[in-house]
Structure 1
């Protein structure tokens, strides 16, 4: 079959080359973006007098016909057409005639076409992920509102550290995922420029209007340097990085949900809707959704590293290596969208076991720091000395087989002359939580400020 670029070639391409060279198997996903770009380009060529107005209108109508065929499933993608650009142009020429169809490619190259299509896809995908993130953050804040008084241990080194509320713990994730949202928003803003009209690498002698096509496609403007425009894949790297960070955060939450759903913790019960069973052990209820998200994080990290590696040694401008940019992005975008969506739905149905959380909070001497702070604040004891005295109190409680919070005033007073019976009120676990009222703390008032901040942000 004769290629559109075959003028200087005397021989046919081998089938092996066609299969190795073709990207139509995956870049057909860009058909909407490719046709939108071609329609904007045709409209601009007509407005600039490069095409007659009736020619531009006929091309646009023909492109609408191609779009309809693809979306109805009638369009046949062929490997010999190489990519989505050639496939669309070939079918367009069959519909409106080869001569008129051939005029569409005036003042552009496949280099700026693919840069445009891919950029449009990435921008759209970034906004879709942002929408999923916004919904998920709202769920976290909504659950938090009901659990400001639900005590649980806060951890460092996966060891019991200080008492916090479940609301506080969930709001930590809400702010984490808000940062993810902001990263996507920043990338969308920064990369919202059209490369169309850059042609192969050096611009075009045709008197085109790149700002017009940028407006038609919803960009805020056109890129400034044609060589950079066709070789730039920063926007793809950014969305891959953003997804990797997002999935890392999701993986951390999933790791906790996996631990919390175990018999050893018993903090949360994941609904049957989002759990699976064992083929051999009838009693099993497995948190597969959380485990899959944790696993898929490695997958998206691999996609980021793969594209970084492809791009690291490429001279300007376009190189065929860059055909390897899309599959990883398509995969990571799909993974992020589905992962955040199902994580949101799973969390909505999860049941938090407040009594189990409270029971475990009474282990590990979580109010020890409060006792040290009492000695500093009320007894004017240097903190290092207070730390040592509190350590003695912890050892005393452990010898009795009780938690520090369960000691009586008389028992405390017997440990060290700096301690008096009134110190017992500072060991209450809820009082410990409420004492941390500094900005960003776990006290109810502070957590409510955090919830209000997120809910106010969600309104915009």
Structure 2
């Protein structure tokens, strides 16, 4: 007989048990379910809803069950449906009828809401730490490549010279925002729903604030209906994870370009590359490609939960059982993707000469040539047109701007003099951009200092 089976005259069919059961995936919530039950039983004893002796026996039994599960001595029962009923069933088997008092004053509706919130809190902290390690790897690359000049791109066309340090620090900022989003999500997750009951609380004198303090929640939810029907925190977390994967995917896309024979900017370590089953020369960036591919999986999980929730009336509906598999899958995906991506970029070899050589092509210093004219009293739009003509002339002559003679410059505009050459070297193009947030050595060193302090403070 099911623990809820009092008003039923038949056992559910095996088909119903299999379809209705969630134990095959929600068993991973076991420790959160047990911690929540320990806090609930402790509160029941404190409030004299059950005796202190009964509360102590329940707590002792729950701790033994926790150890049994972690020692792999428990086989979960599909007919008990979910982790909550499985734990309660195990408790009754272990300590007898006193175990039947554990569920006093609560429902599976507020119980599962608690378990998932506890899970999300833990995983937010875990993923934040993985991002911290990724940011440390990015800082390491930046510190070693402050003077590594490379082409910056717009529209995948060479635009202006920058440094590799400046380029990778853009991703540092993305992951910084990701961490801020995670912590913001944590605040809204960190409120206790337990005590809401099925949807309308209970007549027992529960002390919800006491339970919140036992479980390290900042406070309690303020509406019992919302408490059991809210999955905003899961959706928000999955949204934050989707953005993290989007940033990893963008970085992966560039790594894939950079290690191609056409770019040859980086070389991936053998530990983080794969080969071809037919072409012996191949060294493929499969890790970066898989990160890029798994991003769609995480997006799909978010969209799936949004779709599940969009038409649900208040309060709890069984549809909400579908919130967990997608959440767990996204967490598992990030838990694999972030560490291996971190190792991949931490071990890759930077081909500085190739980057520098590439930056010298494509007229990436054309803007600086225009700026030279502006500094010599030529209106910007006129300067823009002059350099455009000069670039067209250089293309026709198969030369770079540095290779043009002063006479050729003067044929386009008499304003040019020999100082133009000092302004269009790659080094000048980079290091004259001293605006805060720019690519100059001075600016990048300042940003690295700020970001290293950020990482130190985040570690405390």
Say yes or no: TM over 0.5: yes
Equivalent position of 1:114 in the other structure? 112
With structure 1 as the length reference, what TM-score do the two structures score? 0.98
Map residues 166-315 of structure 1 onto 2, 5 A cutoff. Answer: 166-315=164-313
Equivalent position of 2:124 in the other structure? 126
1:142 aligns with 2:140: yes
Whether contact under 8 Å (1:405, 1:429) holds in the other structure is: no
Whether contact under 8 Å (2:120, 2:189) holds in the other structure is: no
Map residues 76-91 of structure 1 onto 2, 5 A cutoff. Answer: 76-91=75-90
Equivalent position of 1:35 in the other structure? 34
Candidates 420, 424, 449, aligned match of 1:423: 420
| Runs of 5+ consecutive residues of structure 1 not aligned to the other structure | none
With structure 2 as the length reference, what TM-score do the two structures score? 0.98
1:385 aligns with 2:395: no
Whether contact under 8 Å (1:407, 1:424) holds in the other structure is: no
Q: Distance in 1 between matches of 2:213 and 2:323?
A: 26
Equivalent position of 2:432 in the other structure? 435
Equivalent position of 1:71 in the other structure? 70
State the 1:136 CA deviation: 0.6
Aligned-partner SS, 1:256: helix
Aligned-partner SS, 1:375: helix
Equivalent position of 2:98 in the other structure? 100
Aligned-partner SS, 1:155: strand
Q: Distance in 2 between matches of 1:415 and 1:426?
A: 18
Equivalent position of 2:405 in the other structure? 408
Q: What is the RMSD computed on CA atoms of the aligned residues?
A: 0.9
Candidates 320, 329, 343, aligned match of 2:341: 343
1:458 aligns with 2:436: no
Q: Distance in 1 between matches of 2:247 and 2:453?
A: 22
Deviations 1:31-85, CA, capped at 9 Å, x for gaps:
0100000000000001111111111110001001111111111101111010000
Aligned-partner SS, 2:197: coil
State the 1:154 CA deviation: 0.1
Q: Distance in 1 between matches of 2:176 and 2:146?
A: 20
State the 1:393 CA deviation: 1.1
Aligned-partner SS, 1:414: helix
Equivalent position of 1:163 in the other structure? 161
Whether contact under 8 Å (1:258, 1:287) holds in the other structure is: yes
| Runs of 5+ consecutive residues of structure 2 not aligned to the other structure | none
Q: Distance in 1 between matches of 2:206 and 2:402?
A: 77
Q: Distance in 1 between matches of 2:373 and 2:401?
A: 15
Equivalent position of 1:331 in the other structure? 329
Deviates more, 1:393-402 or 1:9-18: 393-402
State the 1:367 CA deviation: 0.5
Number of aligned pairs?
457
Whether contact under 8 Å (2:288, 2:341) holds in the other structure is: yes
State the 1:337 CA deviation: 1.6
State the 1:119 CA deviation: 0.6
